[in-house]
Chain A
Amino acid sequence: MDSPILQVKNLTKIYGQNVIFENISLDVNRGETIVIIGPSGTGKSTLLRCINLLTPANSGQIFLNGQEITAPESNEDKVRQQVGMVFQNFLLFNHLTALDNVMVGLSKVKKMPKARAREKALYELNRVGLSDRADHYPGQLSGGQQQRVGIARALAMDPSVMLFDEPTSALDPELIGEVLGVMETLAREHMTMLVVTHEMGFAREVANRIVFMEKGSIVEQGKPDDLFYRPQHERTREFLWKISELYGKKEEKA
């Protein structure tokens, strides 16, 4: 197997007196879908923000394609082009149409000629099933559509890794499916993905590996079946039991 596409080594993040996470290490292989689960306030989202350098870590290293991106001489704007990020609250650019949201990174950051950028943006919108909404503004789109544009915007940059920070948590239940569907397709196309979510159905069916984080450290990680049916730690069992009870009924109905 190739060397990991993304390596997190002994990463520590502290806000003031608060240790958000400590000595986190995680290897992500090319084409792998990893789902990070765990209670709120465990540092899952902060970990993602550290990986695309939106938040500086206090110590530790992150390697992307073998390059240390946490090194002082690394160009963070260049790094972020290679790390796609999808946000809980979508964060589409409100003054741009769906097409321009996807295009703006191509034409302004990658300096791609207009015609090519447009073609690529349309391709990405089509990938998330929204080519017929290209000229709609975010205010004219449903939450699920906005999030799919958010995914297309990140994909357009051809990132090595996609990070998803609770991509469906702000959505109405009936809109969650369309976003998870797009993510599932990406996983099948072997996009490397790191997903923070509470959608256990997605985790069980799509993830290659589940990472359970609690209180700033990785408690346990493994294949979905191992974690769901043969967890090694009492806390993993407790958490999964609780969250399955909460979400399981909904899934059974569906």
Chain B
Amino acid sequence: MFGNFFSYILQGVSITIAVTLVALPAGLVLGLGLALLNTYGGPWLKRLSAGYSLLMRGVPPVVLLFILYFILSGNVVNLTPFWAGSISLGIISSAYQMEILRGALLSISGGQMTAARAIGMSRIQAIRYIILPQALRIAIPPWSNEASIVLKDSSLVYALGVPEILRRAQQLSATNQQPLLAFGAAALIYFVLVFLVNRGLDALAEKTKLPTQAA
């Protein structure tokens, strides 16, 4: 019986991963753009991006998800529950990722920009070839944290009936009267996924670490 249970919930893993794989990269692209505008843009771009960040970090993901699905979807755009969920998680995450990347960009000393400009690089070239490669390295550990948050928050799309891990666990719990087994299995699966993501990103951080010791 436990085997059936488990395999039923496991079928939700691909959806959980799919939601994460939409939300996290979308949040990264948007967050990186916002972080660059906030760090290198003029006063209005700074204010605009800071306002976005403040707003999106102040709204619970599930509220944004409901706004997107029950208000905007059908009227403004047509979104399936999967896309409404993934996009709202991506938007919320973009604000957090913006803050992570902004901090990383600011931690690179101004001298790096000066030196890059001094050999004739434009500002954009300096950011692309000199600042970003260093900032992204620094951002990996906090980004790993955000990745596991998005992975776990993907469970919120269950509220729209998307059959991901939590939704399936809930169904089993309701039909079999075995909540401990159902949610226990869900918790275990989430734990393993988060563990793998964190380990993978730790390995990436280690691999991209710059050598400092004299060889």
- Interface residues of chain A, those whose CB is within 8 Å of chain B, are 52, 54, 77-78, 80-81, 84-85, 87, 89, 91-95, 104-105, 108-110, 136-137, 139-142, 153-154, 157
Query: Once the chains bind, are B134 and A95 in contact (CB under 8 Å)?
Result: yes
Nearest chain B residue, comparing its CB with the CB of A81? B120
- Interface residues of chain B, those whose CB is within 8 Å of chain A, are 111-112, 114-122, 125, 129-130, 133-134, 137, 210-215
With A87-B111, A157-B120 given, name 16 new contacts (CB 8 A): A54-B117, A77-B120, A77-B121, A81-B120, A87-B114, A93-B112, A104-B129, A104-B130, A105-B121, A108-B125, A109-B125, A110-B120, A136-B215, A137-B211, A140-B211, A141-B214
Q: Can you name 29 A-B residue pairings with CB atoms under 8 Å?
A: A54-B114, A54-B118, A80-B117, A80-B118, A80-B120, A81-B119, A87-B111, A87-B115, A87-B118, A89-B111, A91-B111, A91-B112, A93-B134, A95-B130, A95-B133, A95-B210, A104-B129, A105-B119, A105-B121, A108-B121, A109-B120, A109-B121, A109-B125, A137-B212, A139-B211, A139-B213, A142-B214, A154-B118, A157-B120
Nearest chain B residue, comparing its CB with the CB of A135? B215
User: Which residues of chain B come closer than 8 Å to A153, judged between CB atoms?
Assistant: 119
Query: Once the chains bind, are B134 and A91 in contact (CB under 8 Å)?
Result: no
User: Which residues of chain A come closer than 8 Å to B210, judged between CB atoms?
Assistant: 94-95, 137, 139
Query: Once the chains bind, are B120 and A91 in contact (CB under 8 Å)?
Result: no
Nearest chain B residue, comparing its CB with the CB of A102? B119
User: Which residues of chain B come closer than 8 Å to A109, judged between CB atoms?
Assistant: 119-121, 125
A-B contact count (CB 8 A): 75
**Nearest Cβ on chain B to A88's Cβ, whole angstroms:** 10
Q: How far is the CA of A184 from the CA of B157 in the complex (A)?
A: 69
Query: Once the chains bind, are A93 and B121 in contact (CB under 8 Å)?
Result: no
Q: How far is the CA of A110 from the CA of B117 in the complex (A)?
A: 13
A94 interface neighbour in B125, B129, B134, Cβ under 8 Å: B134
Q: How far is the CA of A160 from the CA of B116 in the complex (A)?
A: 18
User: Which residues of chain A come closer than 8 Å to B115, judged between CB atoms?
Assistant: 85, 87, 91-93
Assuming the contacts A91-B115, A94-B134, A108-B125, asked whether A139 and B212 have C-beta atoms less than 8 A apart, the reply is: yes
User: Which residues of chain B come closer than 8 Å to A95, judged between CB atoms?
Assistant: 130, 133-134, 137, 210
Q: How far is the CA of A92 from the CA of B130 in the complex (A)?
A: 10
Q: How far is the CA of A91 from the CA of B131 in the complex (A)?
A: 12
Nearest chain A residue, comparing its CB with the CB of B111? A91
**Nearest Cβ on chain B to A202's Cβ, whole angstroms:** 22
Nearest chain A residue, comparing its CB with the CB of B116? A93
